Amino acid sequence: MNKFVKKTVAGLTASLIALYTLPVYAFASTESVYSKLNNNGESYKTIVTTKEMDEVKQENIEKELPVETRISYKLDGEEISAKDIAGKSGKVSIKIEYINKSVKNVYVNGNAETMYTPFVVVTGTMIDNENNKNIEVKNGKVIESGDKSVVMGVVLPGLEESLKLSGNLSNINIPSSIEITMDSKNFEMKNIVSYASPKLLDEDIDWSKLDYLFSKVNTLQSSANQLEEGVNSLKDGISELSTGATTLSDGANKLNDGANTLDAGIDSLKTGANTLNAGAESLSAGTSELSNGAASVNDGASALNSGIKDLQTGLKSAGDGIVSLQSGSSQVASGASNVNEGANNLKGGLEVLQGNTSALEDGMNTISSSVETLSNGMNSINTQVQGLNSKINQYAGQSDNIANLIQANKNVLATLGDEDVELKAVITQNIAALESEQKLLGMTSNIDQLTTGIGQINAGLNQLNQSTQNLPAQASALSSGVNQLVGGATELSNGTQALSDGASSLNSGANTLAQGAGQLTQGVSQLADGSDQLVAGTKKLSNGADSVNNGASELAKGTGSIVDGANALSNGSKALSEGTRSLAIGTSSLVEGTGKLQNGSVELSNGMHMFNSEGISKISGFINGDLGGLVTRTKKLEQLADEYTSFTGDEDRESVKFISIIDSVKTSQKNEDKQDITVEKKK
């Protein structure tokens, strides 16, 4: 249409210049209709020129034009007639309306409708620039040329009603009028010339290309739908990727936390292994001292046992003497009645007895002192054994720690996989060594037996000591009595009663001494038995201490291996922690990237949906709907244009055109307004 308008405007511009200077000539090859219109647009003269071969015919005709013209004027916004507006000054408005009278009844898509022959009307005039300023035209164009302005306008009357534009095309305005405005001084208007043709375009439209376009639009719509589905699938896939990346990031963070926890646990294990190793070394040193102390205790116990054996032998001899003393004192008591007779012999015997009682007193004192010394020695041994027992109990207190170490090693062993063969072997050896140490520490029951035996020996010695405490006093009394006997030998005959009493006392003391000797013998026997048990216990203690020492040495070696393994495990856990940290950072970046990708996919999906729904679908709907209907009607209009072949109706013509000249508006009427239209005939 723009191509047609440009060509028409250019041609009409040249025609206007010719029309103002020359009579009206017919240059049409078929049928040309020339009409004169008054200032209101009413036709008062029509001439039809036809050309057939080289012959040109011209005739006047009275017939309604297919396009009616109506003209109205306004001055400063108020309607005014053409006669009254001439010579006025102000804001002038000239509105030229065209009404299509060529109505046809047609069928469109099987429906009966009314359409109009598609006339295109081009209107133009020339305006003096001296008295007219700010010239504007609606639905047209103003072309300034020196002291003149050419005003052109194009209208298509009836086309809007024929096309029945709707939908996206409803806002298209197809003009059926033009309006010229200007600021005028002493207003006058030259002739207005219009050119009308039933042809929309110079050339017919190739509708096959539009059909091809319609088919491609359907393909475009199908492809856009598939593309939108693909974008939605991509969005869903990216959403799943983002969810997976988030899950992966959470797992990586948990793995990193676990690696950090493992690293911290391995550090604790490393510290515990070092502590265990230090403790094992201390235990090894302590068990070495224990072994040496146990050997010394065993030697002392053997010496004590030998002394007790000697004491037992001495006590046996003393017991035999005490038995003899008891027998003698009995004889003294029974022979008291013969004392008087044997006084002289008694005096000599008493002198001998005096010497023996001094020796007896010394022996009793020696026995009492020896028993007291023996008791003190046993108390010292008991103290040492008690200290040894306390130390052993201290080591036995380590049993709980060793049990905890065994359980800790078992817990570590449970966490190891099949690939940790060497570490599992080391920890298994450590567990075996710790369990052996635990069994050795169970020997404390033997030490308890030893302590019990020594306690029994000590109790016997205390009883013996109590029994022998009276021996010195009794021996002293015996010595005093003998001295008295010796001193009172001369008075013996007079003191037989005293001798009888003394003999009775001597017999009683002898009995007491015999009882004490029996008790002492029994206590020494118990002491001998306890010393045998002490020797056996200290021997076991020495052997156990050696085993403990050996186990502690092996434990120290095992804990050294644990320390080495813990160091290696610590290095590996730190590398694992660094790796998991890098993994966590990487997955965090992946989550961020997939989040951006997801946002982009959502935007892409929304954009694709909008592109499809607001763009492709509307284009497709427009082409298949509004434009499709427009094309159908345009085809029908093209058909109507082709069918309009004659204004007179007597014979079909190749083309028909209408040229109308509207009278000028002047302050004084001239013959120019009523001039006849003449046509130069060419031969």
pLDDT tens per residue, range 219-272: 666 767 877 787 788 778 788 878 887 887 888 888 788 878 877 877 876 787
Q: Residue type for 47, please?
A: I
Strands 132-138 and 656-662: unpaired
What Cα–Cα distance (Å) separates residue 108 from each residue in 103, 279, 514? 15, 109, 160
660 and 558 inside one domain: no
583 and 648 fall within a common domain: no
C-alpha torsion 347→350→352→355, nearest 10: -130
Select from 532, 562, 593 the last residue of a domain.
593
- Asked if pLDDT for residue 340 goes beyond 70, the answer is no
Domain end position, chosen among 575, 593, 611: 593
- Does residue 216 lie in a domain region? no
Shared-domain flag, residues 97 and 172: yes
Q: Are 341 and 518 in contact (CB under 8 A)?
A: no
Asked whether residue 369 is assigned to any structural domain, the reply reads: yes
Q: The whole model's pTM is what?
A: 0.41
Task: Say yes or no to pLDDT of 582 above 90.
Answer: no
Residue 283 forms part of a structural domain: yes
Name the domain count of the chain. Answer: 2
Residue 490 lies in a domain: yes
Is there a single domain that holds both residue 580 and residue 650?
no
Is residue 204 domain-resident?
Answer: no
452 with 524, same domain: the answer is: yes
Shared domain for 43 and 174, answered yes or no, is yes
| 630 against 634, higher pLDDT | 634
**What's the rounded mean pLDDT across residues 571-589?**
82
Please check the confidence at residue 189 and state whether its pLDDT lies above 90. yes
Question: Phi, psi at residue 665, to the nearest 5°?
Answer: -115, 115
Q: Which residues contact 637 (CB under 8 A, 6 or more apart)?
A: 115, 118, 159, 162, 163, 200
Q: Is a pLDDT exceeding 70 seen at residue 310?
A: yes
Mean pLDDT of the chain: 77
Same domain, 522 and 404: yes
Highest averaged pLDDT of the listed ranges 190-194, 213-217, 613-617, 633-637: 190-194
Final residue before a domain boundary, out of 567, 593, 619? 593
* Within a domain: 680: no
Tell me: pLDDT of 14 over 90.
no
Note whether residue 230 is domain-resident: no
Q: Closest Cα to residue 85, out of 66, 96, 72?
A: 72
522 and 585 in a common domain = yes
Please say whether the beta carbons of 264 and 577 come within 8 A: no
Q: Work out the pLDDT band at 175, boundaries 50, 70, 90.
A: very high
Tokens of 59: 């005739």
Task: Copy the structure tokens of residue 158.
Answer: 């009836």
Residues 277 and 131 in one domain: no
Task: Give 338's pLDDT tier (boundaries 50, 70, 90).
Answer: low
Q: What angle do CA 88, 89, 94 make, to 5 degrees?
A: 80
pLDDT value at residue 117: 94
Which domain covers residue 456, as residue numbers? 248-412+421-593
54 and 160 together in one domain: yes
* Within-domain flag for 186: yes
Residues 253 and 170 in one domain: no
Residue 123, pLDDT above cutoff 90: yes
* Residue 178 shares a structural domain with residue 269: no
Smallest CA-to-CA distance from 524 within 297, 371, 326 is with 371
Cα–Cα distance, 418 to 304 (Å, whole number):
59
- Residue 177's pLDDT is 96
Whether residue 92 is predicted with pLDDT greater than 80 in this model: the reply is yes
